Amino acid sequence: MSKQGAKNKAKGPGASGKPGAVGKTIALNKRARHEYHLEDRFEAGLALQGWELKSIRAGRAQIGESYAVVRDGELFLFGAQITPLISASTHVVADDRRTRKLLLHRREIDRLLGSIQRDGYTLVPTALYWKGNKVKIELALAKGKQSHDKREAAKDRDWARDKQRVMRRHNRDA
């Protein structure tokens, strides 16, 4: 194995510094797990303009306050912010929070539409990442958590952490 191959293997798959690396994360929505019960996850393509792709490569994308909506049988992403680079384009007026079209198969859109209308789910973007040389977004069907659910999730997380500590200490002493 060459030195370069060993270096990339140590980092793990998709962790190379190249922008088109498989699985390289661009942006995460960390609040989504705290605010919602996440059910099913879907991968969708994103219809982007040239200046947006340049900005994403520069790490200027945020999906923290974004959501997806089905309109006229098509899926759209609202609220995602891709801040334009100063030197990206001189002839295009860049809108950093424009509505972007999401690309999914018709049967997936129909399934999502049924879940949203019938069961009261929300479509929340959880991650924006590279897949090959394409930008993909992970959407989750989600239901909002109540404040008591959030407290219980924090309590469960704390208990799991304490349980691990006790087990580690017990195994070390044995």
In a domain, 141, yes or no: yes
Distance CA 120, CA 166 (A): 41
49 occurs within a structural domain: yes
Q: Is residue 174 part of a domain?
A: no
Tens of pLDDT, residues 111-167: 888 888 888 888 899 999 999 889 999 999 888 777 777 788 888 888 999 999 988
Q: Is residue 163 part of a domain?
A: no
Q: How far apart are CA 21 and CA 131, in angstroms?
A: 7
Residue 118: what are its φ and ψ, rounded to 5°?
-80, -45
- Residue 88's domain spans which residues? 20-145
| Within-domain flag for 157 | no
Q: Find the CATH number of the domain harbouring 103.
A: 2.40.280.10
| Residue 13, domain member (yes or no) | no
Give the chain's domain count: 1
